[in-house]
Amino acid sequence: MSPNSDWAASEAARRRTFAVISHPDAGKSTLTEALALHAQAITEAGAVHGKAGRRGVASDWMEMEKTRGISVTSAVLQFAHRGCVLNLLDTPGHADFSEDTYRVLAAVDCAVMLIDAAKGLEEQTRKLFDVCRHRGIPVITFVNKWDRPGREALELLDEIEREFRLKPTPLVWPVGDAGYLRGLIDVREPGRMLRYTRTPGGAHEAIEALVPAQRAALEDEADWSKAVEELDLLQVDGAVHDQEAFLTGRTTPVFFGAAISNIGVRLLLDAIVDLAPPPGPRELEAGGARAVDAPFSGLVFKVQANMDPAHRDRIAFMRVCSGIFERGMTVTRAASGKPFATKYAHSVFGQDRSMVDIAYPGDVVGLVNATALRVGDTLYADQAAVFPAMPTFAPEHFAVARPVDLSRSKQFRRGIAQLDEEGVVQVLVSDVRGDQAPVLAAVGPMQFDVVSARMAGEFSAAVKLEMLPYRLARSTDAAGAEALNRSRIVQGEALTRIRDKAQLALFPDRWQAGSFEREFPAARLDHLIAAHE
């Protein structure tokens, strides 16, 4: 093993690369900001909804995110804590942006699943957990908003175990019901309670005080007794943390707190360092795995343009999977076999960035103006590697896009091409419509709002969208496309997806698709992966 291999392995052991996942409005971006605050990466936390006098969160940098108070694109935050380097990937919670979230989950080693104390497990949380299970990503659970009225703690644990077939093992337990929080018990140090005093607006860390068990029993007698009794019951039931069971996806460590008040966040941050796995061998498309001490390899999981309005550039986000990345090195793009120079490489913190000279497995590097790179690309040095392709999901909403101002046609085409490369939408074309009227295909309708906002704001090419009546997409071939376009009884249309030249057959519903199969039984018609699967 070379000195560089030893160096890569030792630095990889210090990395924790994780995503925060949740249903919309569970407090994901707020938790992201609170974690960065407790790691002293920022000095003051913002509020997601941008109320008067408050900043927006660092991870929500798009204008649409600031005005709507939701995350519509993933973001990367890197900071240090207790001798480790944490790469936190904030993800969109809304189901309409599932593809972006799924791509991010291909780049992490662990996930923090955020649950609203009042709502419990919600639809998008279930979907994202299924992706984590499929990818073998261990999950830490944080029950948020315990400072507001909500459900019983034991009831929430039962729901997790029943629906996810996952044993919850609390490492933090609340003293007091949801909305009446008296403090938290660190299960690993059970002889005391942590009591919190909120800071104004939640802009700074909550003041934390240690209250001995004897004093807690006197001052909060009923709540303390109930908490201790519940913890005893959980231990009898076997709800005790086991690191191997966590890493193999059989258990989930559970924490309670309130991100907006910075309560319980430090305990979660410490647990990410202590429990989350460092980068390990990564599965290859042809079988086998790439070890972290192998020569450099990286996976492009996201492409984003115009993060900095002053420069109007394009960044490809690459997760370093093995070896050492050095700025300026020439690597190979696996898809083309061509060399790629990495002259402009940045470390990214939300919208802010700085030049990075070296990065290790687990780190995320922003490659600036990397126009040749696409989502899912593998980059490597010395020893060839190709990582598995990222899935493309079946769109369910379709709209024809046209420029409002025909004199801006060049900007229109450039903007649509950029959004397609980023994966904001899938872009479909046909000979009949031409490239001045592409069909935009989306998993959810909010993606069209992003297109409209970005085309007008970033590319100076406002668009008008004409919704199409289709709700179902199937994969076909040239013969199937020709058959669909000449059918006289089926309402549908065949188009070509720009990204991969795939032929897609669009139908209003499954009954129309069935009619097509009966009319042309020899035609190929295959299901696509649905975002809800």
Question: Pick from 318, 274, 271, 326: which is nearest to 7 by CA?
Answer: 326
Which run of H or of E encompasses 428? strand 426-429
CA–CA separation, 478 and 496 (whole Å): 10
Q: Per the annotation, does 94 bind a ligand? A: yes
Name residue 315's beta-bridge partners: 304, 368
Q: Burial code of 94-122, b = ≥16 C-beta within 10 A, e = fewer?
A: bbbbbbbbbbbbbbbbbbbbbbbbeebbb
Q: Per the annotation, does 288 bind a ligand? A: no
CA dihedral 147, 151, 156, 158 (to 10 degrees): 150
Q: Per the annotation, does 67 bind a ligand? A: no
Q: What Å distances lie between residue 498 and 251, 376, 439, 440, 510, CA to CA?
A: 42, 15, 10, 11, 24
Residue 342 token pair? 């990495």
Q: Is 131 helix (H, G, I), strand (E, B) or coil?
A: helix
Spell out the residues 6+ positions from residue 291 whose beta carbon is closer than 8 angstroms to its own: 281, 322
Q: Per the annotation, does 93 bind a ligand? A: yes
Task: State the amino acid at position 470 in one-letter form.
Answer: Y
CA–CA separation, 465 and 419 (whole Å): 15
CA dihedral 44, 308, 500, 295 (to 10 degrees): -70
292 neighbors 279 (Cβ within 8 angstroms): yes
- Which segments of 42-134 are extended strands (E)? 75-81, 84-90, 110-116
Q: Per the annotation, does 392 bind a ligand? A: no
Known binding residues: 90-94
Known binding residues for GTP: 90-94
